[in-house]
Amino acid sequence: MSAETLIYIILSGILALFIALFQYRYKSKVKHFKLNALFAFLRFITVFSILLLIVNPKFEQIKVFTEKPNLVLVVDNSSSIKHLNREASASSLVNELIDNKDLNNKFNVSAYTFGSSLNASDSLTFNERETNINAAFNQLSQVYKASVSPTILLTDGNQTFGNDYQFAHNTYKQPIYPIILGDTVTYTDLRIQQLNVNKYAYLKNRFPVEAILVYNGNDNVNSRLEVTKGNATVYSLPINFSKSNNSKIINFTLPANTIGTNSYKVNLVPLENEKNMINNTKNFAVEVIDQKTKIAFVTDMLHPDIGAFKKSIESNEQRSVTILNSNEILNQINDFQLIIVNQPTNKFKLLFEVLDKLNKNRFVIVGPKTDLTFINEINKSYSHEIVLQTEEYQADFNANFSPFLIDDIDFESFPPLNSNYGALTFNVPYQSLLNKRVGNVSINVPLLATFETNGRREAVLFGENIWKWRAQSYLNSKSFHDFDNFIGKLVQYLASAKLRSRLNLDYESFYIGNSGITINAQFFDKNYVFDDRETLNIRVKDKFSDNDIEFPFVLKNNNYQVDLSSLPPSEYSFTVSATKENISKSGSFTILEYNVEQQFLNANVTKLQQLATNSDGKSYFIENTEALMDDLINDNRYVSIQKSNKNIIPLIDWKFLLAIMAFSLSAEWFLRKYNGLI
């Protein structure tokens, strides 16, 4: 409380005393001294309380409390723990740590489980299909960023995807104490470390397969590598290993004789004393297609966009891109399913005439080097105002775009494209996939649009420097996949001559393992506007057992989606149908048998010990957890901290003062009334 406020309080007390004495000492007609003194006291209390409320002094309230450090328990809930027969000991240890009185007295104990991501610890099932230890630490770093939180990691250390977790200390600034689950004894083992094979092959060609084989053991052993398709063996090779010659890379080719998905099994014949035979077998599939989609990129200028388009399109091996100039394309235009025209000028006049005559699909890129006068003359579908000025436009994704399924790949974060300034007019119905945006203002003008006219499909991109988008997409996701998939879907739509469908499906022909199996669908009304009121169902039938099951689609991000990860490995046919209208579409896919969590025999001791060293923690085997508890309890880095909260409370918030005022006024009135003074 300040000195000024204290002076006001003293003055308030003097003024209240003066008013009370003036009324009941100087002006009072009552001659009874004790009664006057009581009335004066009550009036003093009332006036002084009112004046205190006007001054409204503030008081400091200090609350002192003790904050214990956190103890974070993170448990690997993946199926590899069950495969190594450690689920019982892991569950027992978790309960022991959570119920330990000494740990609870010193720490606030919190438990989590993880597989592909971090979850609150409800129960341990050990059925997660993937392990990402690094992702778990990334999520924990958001929760325990500003506290002392030593972390116990209960795992076998076998991560199946994600960044290397031994460097997790760079983002998670807490000591980590790994408890190592799993057998550390080295067993004799043969395994297929990796299979490298292309996703697609072409009919009547041979496709390459690369197998990396590894042997753990001290003796010289003999085995055989066999590749089967159904009941037929299509490749076989004897393999020899020794302690020094313990790995081999085998390259061979197989014939592609049947169109569609072809499934194969690779088996490395196990040894007699081998403990884990699951990692001796791997399945793979190849989709055999009849021909490649050929795309011509026609340009009379050099630009980085050419390479970006070529790499994105050819990331799918079903497609090839040939770069030609405006003259070279004329004699071979019928060899291509799609023509991409880059920034055309008057030199492209003959090409456009041939394209119009053949009614051929096209993708036109209109940029600052485009002759807009020529575009307006040669093209009847749209026109661009001619202004000798350029502008940089960013992209706004149109979630209502309906011609084909497309996801927002964070277009908002992409650098602006250099484009022509001026109004844009379409003379035909069109769909805008991306709109122009300047700063934070969307101007509702197409940046990338598609339309269908006279039985042909066409897309127009109004800007150059799309190579920057591909680079930014890589920075965002550490992969070119999202951007390449976006360009691939656009090219697939333009290269296809199929009629537009009200029900569109997006799925893979085969899936490796039964995790992440999703089918996306879009349904449109008769005006080809996305309809979110429809109910879609999928009926899936196992081709071998004839068992079928129906799943409902759920609406998600302007499309329908169904998760089929619960299906076991097999070959399936399916039918997606709408319940309100007689519309359906069928297809098929294959789920290959593969469980990455069953490929391990031992815990990854070396990496877990390195993680502990890097984070200033310590590693323990599950048989030595008593030492862990003692170390945590006796570690002087983890002590309770006494903290205080100081609150400033104004007097006006003190409700008892109002009660005192009400009591003093009521008492004064009652006593005056009782004594006949009112």
Task: Give the residue with greater pLDDT, 321 vs 455.
Answer: 321
pLDDT 10s digits, 483-525: 999 998 899 888 876 666 788 888 888 888 766 789 999 888 7
pLDDT at 6: 81
Predicted confidence (pLDDT) at residue 558 exceeds the cutoff of 90:
no
Q: DSSP letter at 275? A: S
Q: How many CA atoms lie within 13 A of 27 on its CB side?
A: 9
Q: How many CA atoms lie within 13 A of 42 on its CB side?
A: 17
Mean pLDDT of the 97-108 span? 91
Strand partners, 441: 438
Report residue 116 as tokens: 């592909």
Residue partners of 587: CB distance under 8 A and separation at least 6: 505, 507, 573, 574, 576
> Residue 463 to residues 1, 195, 246, 393, 491: CA-CA distances in angstroms?
66, 41, 55, 8, 17
Quickly state the pLDDT bin for 257 (edges 50, 70, 90).
confident
pLDDT at 46: 86
Predicted confidence (pLDDT) at residue 113 exceeds the cutoff of 90:
yes
Residue partners of 583: CB distance under 8 A and separation at least 6: 502, 503, 523, 577
Query: Which H/E stretch holds residue 555?
Result: strand 554-556
Report residue 19 as tokens: 């008013």
To 5 degrees, how large is the angle CA 351–CA 353–CA 358?
95
DSSP per position, 416-432? PEEEE-S-EEESS--EE
pTM of the model: 0.58
Average predicted confidence (pLDDT) for the chain: 86
As a whole number of angstroms, the distance between CA 87 and CA 77 comes to 9
Say if residues 521 and 503 touch (Cβ distance below 8 Å). Answer: yes
Say if residues 438 and 393 touch (Cβ distance below 8 Å). Answer: yes
The greatest distance separating any two alpha carbons of the chain, rounded to the nearest whole angstrom, comes to 128
- The correct answer on CATH 2.60.40.10 for the domain covering 189-289 is yes
Predicted confidence (pLDDT) at residue 75 exceeds the cutoff of 90:
yes
> Residue 101 to residues 97, 104, 166, 621, 633: CA-CA distances in angstroms?
9, 5, 31, 22, 11
As a whole number of angstroms, the distance between CA 237 and CA 321 comes to 38
Helix (H, G, I), strand (E, B) or coil at 414: coil
Q: Which CATH architecture has domain 69-184+604-639?
A: 3-Layer(aba) Sandwich (3.40)
Quickly state the pLDDT bin for 574 (edges 50, 70, 90).
very high
Say if residues 219 and 235 touch (Cβ distance below 8 Å). Answer: no
Helix (H, G, I), strand (E, B) or coil at 502: coil
> Residue 618 to residues 205, 284, 347: CA-CA distances in angstroms?
55, 41, 71
Domain ranges of the chain: 3-62+648-674, 69-184+604-639, 189-289, 294-495, 503-596
Predicted confidence (pLDDT) at residue 236 exceeds the cutoff of 70:
yes
Share of the chain above pLDDT 70, in %: 96
Report residue 572 as tokens: 């399936």
294-495: CATH number: 3.40.50.880
Domain 503-596: top CATH class: mainly beta
Say if residues 267 and 228 touch (Cβ distance below 8 Å). Answer: yes
pLDDT at 166: 87
Helix (H, G, I), strand (E, B) or coil at 121: coil
Mean pLDDT of the 541-545 span? 90
Share of the chain above pLDDT 90, in %: 36
Predicted confidence (pLDDT) at residue 133 exceeds the cutoff of 80:
yes
Report residue 612 as tokens: 């502990």
- Chain center to CA of 279: 30
As a whole number of angstroms, the distance between CA 409 and CA 176 comes to 35
Report residue 593 as tokens: 């048998």
pLDDT 10s digits, 160-181: 888 889 888 889 999 999 999 8
- Chain center to CA of 365: 32
pLDDT 10s digits, 22-53: 777 766 665 566 777 787 888 888 888 888 78
Helix (H, G, I), strand (E, B) or coil at 179: strand
DSSP per position, 148-164? ---EEEEE-----SSS-
35-49, 99-113, 646-660, range with the lowest pLDDT: 646-660
Say if residues 177 and 618 touch (Cβ distance below 8 Å). Answer: yes
Buried b (16+ CB within 10 A) or exposed e, 35-63: bbeebbbbbbbbbbbebbbebebeeeeee
What are the counts of helices (DSSP H) followed by strands (DSSP E) for the chain? 14, 36
Say if residues 434 and 407 touch (Cβ distance below 8 Å). Answer: no
Question: For tokens 């085998």, what's the residue?
Answer: 250
Mean pLDDT of the 228-235 span? 90
Quickly state the pLDDT bin for 527 (edges 50, 70, 90).
low
Length of the chain: 678
Nearest to 153 by CA among 88, 108, 93: 93
Mean pLDDT of the 228-237 span? 91
As a whole number of angstroms, the distance between CA 482 and CA 478 comes to 10
To 5 degrees, how large is the angle CA 326–CA 332–CA 335?
125
Predicted confidence (pLDDT) at residue 656 exceeds the cutoff of 60:
yes
Predicted confidence (pLDDT) at residue 530 exceeds the cutoff of 60:
yes
Buried b (16+ CB within 10 A) or exposed e, 324-357: bebeebeeebeebbbbbbbbbbeebeebbeebee
* Backbone torsions φ then ψ of 629, nearest 5 degrees: -60, -45
Fold match between domain 69-184+604-639 and domain 294-495: yes
Predicted confidence (pLDDT) at residue 150 exceeds the cutoff of 90:
yes
Q: How many CA atoms lie within 13 A of 473 on its CB side?
A: 20
To 5 degrees, how large is the angle CA 547–CA 549–CA 555?
155
Report residue 342 as tokens: 């880059």
